[in-house]
Amino acid sequence: MGTKEVPMIRADDRELGFVLTSAVHNALGRWAMPGRIVQFVTPLLPWLDSDALRSLDEHLTEALTVSKSGVPKPDEALWKGFLENVRQERTNRGEELYVSWHDRKTKLDFTDVSE
């Protein structure tokens, strides 16, 4: 049996961001080893592109905002700490942080004004 080449993914590859955000989204709000996911992803945050970081910021912010309803989320403290790391990386890059639609001053108005 010959040796197999180990597949490699570069840290600066956009696909890495896709894979890591998918892992985080899957683990968020579940008992799917969130500690291991956060431990693995956190040191790679500087390598993720802005799209991946924005996605993480949005999903984590919304999930934690919804958890304010009094229903505890699994590992909420872990996710809050991870969100702080994501936001720090976005701040370091000069990116605008996501604001939950629950907390926005300007609310969406869906009344019909077509008349």
Q: Which amino acid is at 91?
A: T
- Cα separation, 92 vs 2, in Å, equals 46
Residues of the chain with pLDDT > 70: what percent? Answer: 78
Structural tokens at position 85: 């790391």
Number of Cβ within 10 Å of residue 85's Cβ equals: 15
Range of the domain at 40: 14-92
Angle at 34 between CA 72 and CA 18, to 5 degrees: 120
The pLDDT of residue 6 is: 81
Residue 49 belongs to some domain of the structure:
yes
Q: What is the pLDDT of residues 13-56, one digit of tens each?
A: 788 899 999 999 888 867 668 899 999 999 999 999 999 999 99
Domain count, the chain: 1
